[in-house]
Amino acid sequence: MVISSPHIHSKSNLDVVNINTANKSNVKRFTQNGQIQIYQSPYRGSYPSIIRDSLRNAALGRKVLLIQFMKGGVKQGVDNALRLCGNLTWIRSSHSFDQYNSEEIINNNNLKKSIHESTLELWDFCKKELRSGENDQIILDEIFLAIEMKIIDKDDLISTLENRFISGDVILTGTDIPKDLLLMANQITELRS
């Protein structure tokens, strides 16, 4: 199911273009067209099509940033991002939720702290990228799980999305999506098994 809306969230982000023709200067204003897209699913691990599309977009020349908040196993972190197709930057947490079973995390405060810190490091990096306008597409995979686990603050995400440079699309994925964020979306896609 796809629900679309013509709603463009930012009202103040306008570009001005000067056009000189025959010593006459015209000013035209246009709104940038980056969208917020949400992909929701009843279970985790159902987003391979989004990763496939990000690879295709990068191969076609779009600059893509893929952040996986809860995936891990490669001890990447922000400083060791993978670069694919020349235009895709793929970053996973240096310590992630998926590297350990839930009992290990619950019983080890140092491990829990390390996972939270590395997820927050990714989030701080994402906030800078969302404001920079340097990417044509930013994918925040399983960010809603990080919110549900109280690692990332929902209001911080909303504020960051409201103040982003809106030329690029932002794709958010997850299973339990807060209503406030659903209302911000230009497109909502529900993936079913």
Helix, strand, coil percent content, the chain, rounded in steps of 5: 35, 25, 35
- Is residue 166 a contact partner of residue 8, using CB atoms and an 8 Å limit? yes
Cβ contact 191:44 at 8 Å: no
Reported as a single tens digit per residue, the pLDDT across 55-108 is: 899 999 999 999 988 876 566 888 888 888 889 999 988 776 666 667 777 788
Record the tokens describing residue 24, joined without a space: 């006459």
Per-residue pLDDT at 40 exceeds 70: yes
- What pLDDT is stored for residue 75 in this prediction? 64
- The whole-angstrom separation of Cα 149 and Cα 172 is 16
Q: Show the beta-strand stretches assigned E in 6-136.
A: 14-21, 24-31, 36-40, 64-68, 82-84, 88-92
Domains of the chain, start order? 34-190 (3.40.50.300)
pLDDT at 42: 78
